Amino acid sequence: MKYRFILRGLIVIASLAALGYLIETTQLANLLDEKWIDREVRGQGLNGDLLFLAIGGLATAIGLPRQLIAFLGGYAYGILAGTLLATLAAGLGCLLAFYYARLVGRSLVAERYSGRIRKLDDFVQSNPFSMTLLIRLLPVGSNLVTNLVAGVSSVRALPFFAGSLLGYLPQSLIFALVGGGVQVDSTWRIVLAVALFIVAGILGTQLYRRFRHGKSFDEEVDAKLGEVPDAQD
């Protein structure tokens, strides 16, 4: 058992070191801009699509905003295709972070987020798909932390992924609208995106308040939403 624990710790350290080296040498964050899209993705057919999914998935897996990927998806592909590909990329990032925590970084995540793990377990246990969807519709919260915490929790993978993909769609659409508006200099798309963002944020917050049934998956999120913890929390 001692040797297994040491080996797992070494794997975590090696994986984090490799990730840091990857970010440093490839400057991943700097790749994700319109020039990179024009050069490597647009007009490159299936290879460009797969590259967008791979880079977008890796970017969201390490914590870059999925909204940025949706923006670039709209810029590269237009509203519908951009929304779909950005949602798939965010789903891939969700999967990578989830299984990193579940298979490799369990001890690291459990030590860092022990309180959140218990809360997430309690929050989603009655209906993992619906409650995950509810979390993803909120206008606040960390996508990366939710993915990592879910990986260490007892939540089943399939309903968590399905709820996440569906929950990613609204903001993917909104930011793909913005990206598409930049490409064609369409002011109405950007105005519509802003309006939809406000509506989606209000709707997500109201749904959370209505269906959380006194539970909380994250005290910081509750504070940002102006929620007062129930006595049982």
**Band of residue 228 on the pLDDT scale cut at 50, 70, 90:** low
- Mean pLDDT confidence for 132-151: 90
Please give the structure tokens belonging to residue 118. Answer: 């218990």
Task: Look at residue 141 in the predicted model and tell me its pLDDT.
Answer: 82
Nearest-5° angle of CA 85, CA 91, CA 92? 90
- Mean pLDDT confidence for 167-196: 80
| Contact between residue 202 and residue 112 where contact means Cβ atoms under 8 Å apart | no
Please give the structure tokens belonging to residue 94. Answer: 């969700």
Task: Look at residue 151 in the predicted model and tell me its pLDDT.
Answer: 93
**Band of residue 211 on the pLDDT scale cut at 50, 70, 90:** confident
Task: Look at residue 115 in the predicted model and tell me its pLDDT.
Answer: 84
- Mean pLDDT confidence for 57-85: 90
Q: For the chain, what are the domain ranges?
A: 2-220
Nearest-5° angle of CA 228, CA 155, CA 55? 95
Residue with the bigger pLDDT between 120 and 212: it is 120
Place of tokens 């080996």: 7
Task: Look at residue 166 in the predicted model and tell me its pLDDT.
Answer: 95
Please give the structure tokens belonging to residue 233. Answer: 């929390």
**Band of residue 3 on the pLDDT scale cut at 50, 70, 90:** very low
**Band of residue 28 on the pLDDT scale cut at 50, 70, 90:** low
Task: Look at residue 182 in the predicted model and tell me its pLDDT.
Answer: 61
- Mean pLDDT confidence for 62-90: 91
Q: What's this model's pTM, rounded to 2 decimal places?
A: 0.81
81 to 60, 94, 179, 193, 201: CA distances (angstroms) = 19, 20, 12, 16, 23
The yes-or-no verdict on residue 25 having pLDDT over 70 is no
| Contact between residue 86 and residue 170 where contact means Cβ atoms under 8 Å apart | no
Task: Look at residue 5 in the predicted model and tell me its pLDDT.
Answer: 44
Residue with the bigger pLDDT between 17 and 215: it is 215
**Band of residue 160 on the pLDDT scale cut at 50, 70, 90:** very high
